[in-house]
């Protein structure tokens, strides 16, 4: 596997003490569609902030992805209608999360790692409801124990899963799920080097070229506008 960062070239993100105030300021600029929206938005951002702190403490490399990346590109923060947040990790780095799935590291949060996380492709995995594994495509989830809102932790591969690994001449692409759960590849320089960015008042990691990735996944129109609107108190 390729190591994209060594310990001496990871830029440290200092978690500022007034993040809660920054989140509240971001929420002031965020539309709502009904009376429950603001609470959900605040909870999602609080959980996401907890994840960034966890990742910082344990030196876990990640970056924002999918709908969360769309939100960053469009409005530098959470999409008002979102019900979760999304990050990517190199698939092999999921191993760093496994020890935390078996211990009570927090009274508020837990990490659920899919027992078959090393199986490539969701069709090769099963649900494990007795273990609280109600997902098959993400490799893991960072979950609020009581409220059950979560951060989805998705795998990305430094090789194409449908092709044999070439260890002597590795591909200069990264492969992840598309919005249709097929494989889609992008040039590695669209992601690395990661850059620190601010998402709804939270310091996070962003890919190097967010707009290119959003365009690849959702189309050029997703760079500037969302297709979800508020109609009679409901996001549609």
Spatial contact of 38 and 60, defined as CB atoms under 8 Å apart = no
Q: Is 147 helix (H, G, I), strand (E, B) or coil?
A: coil
pLDDT at 195 over 80: yes
Q: How far apart are CA 183 and CA 158, in angstroms?
A: 12
Question: In which band, very low, low, confident or very high, does the pLDDT at 19 lie, cut at 50, 70 and 90?
Answer: confident
Q: Does residue 41 have a pLDDT over 60?
A: yes
Residue percentage of the chain with pLDDT more than 90: 86
Going from the C-alpha of 1 to that of each of 60, 123, 170, 196, the distances in angstroms are: 16, 24, 9, 24
Dump the DSSP string for 157-171: BSS-TTS---SSS--
**169 within 8 A of 151, measured Cβ to Cβ:** no
Mean pLDDT on 134-138: 98
pLDDT of 133 higher than 70? yes
pLDDT-derived band at 163 (thresholds 50, 70, 90) equals confident
Q: What is the mean pLDDT of residues 17-31?
A: 88
- Amino acid 219: pLDDT: 98
Q: Give me 2's structure tokens.
A: 């390729």
Domain ranges, ordered by start, for the chain: 13-235
Residue among 59, 26, 155, 53 nearest 108 (CA): 53
Q: Are 216 and 33 in contact (CB under 8 A)?
A: no
**How many Cα atoms sit within 13 Å of 226 on the Cβ side?**
20
Q: How many helices (H) and strands (E) does the chain have?
A: 5, 11
Query: Does residue 95 surpass a pLDDT of 60?
Result: yes
Between 126 and 227, the more confident residue is 126
Identify which has the larger pLDDT, 13 or 184. 184
Q: What is the mean pLDDT of residues 71-98?
A: 98
- Residue 166 has a pLDDT of 58
- Residue 28, pLDDT score: 96
For residue 3, pLDDT over 50 is answered with: no
Query: pLDDT: is 16 or 181 the higher one?
Result: 181
Of 199, 208, 205, which is closest to residue 60 (Cα–Cα)?
205
Residue 31: pLDDT band with limits 50, 70, 90: very high
């Amino acid at each position: 596997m390729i190591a994209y960062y060594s310990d001496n070239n990871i830029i440290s993100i200092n978690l500022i003490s007034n993040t809660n105030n920054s989140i509240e300021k971001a929420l002031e600029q965020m539309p709502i569609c009904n009376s429950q929206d603001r609470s959900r938005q605040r909870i999602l951002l609080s959980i996401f902030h907890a994840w960034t702190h966890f990742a910082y403490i344990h030196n876990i490399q990640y970056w924002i992805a999918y709908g969360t990346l769309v939100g960053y590109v469009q409005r530098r923060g959470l999409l008002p209608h979102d019900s979760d947040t999304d990050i990517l990790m190199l698939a092999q780095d999921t191993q760093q999360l496994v020890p935390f799935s078996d211990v009570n590291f927090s009274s508020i949060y837990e990490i659920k790692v899919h027992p078959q996380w090393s199986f490539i492709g969701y069709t090769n995995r099963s649900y494990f409801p007795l273990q609280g594994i109600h997902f098959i495509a993400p490799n893991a989830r960072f979950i609020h124990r009581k409220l059950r809102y979560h951060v989805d932790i998705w795998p990305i591969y430094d090789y194409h899963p449908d092709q044999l690994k070439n260890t002597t001449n590795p591909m200069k692409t990264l492969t992840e799920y598309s919005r249709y759960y097929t494989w889609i590849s992008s040039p590695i320089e669209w992601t690395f080097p990661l850059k620190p960015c601010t998402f709804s008042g939270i310091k996070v990691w962003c890919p190097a070229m967010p707009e290119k990735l959003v365009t690849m996944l959702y189309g050029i129109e997703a760079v500037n506008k969302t297709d979800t609107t508020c109609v009679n108190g409901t996001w549609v």
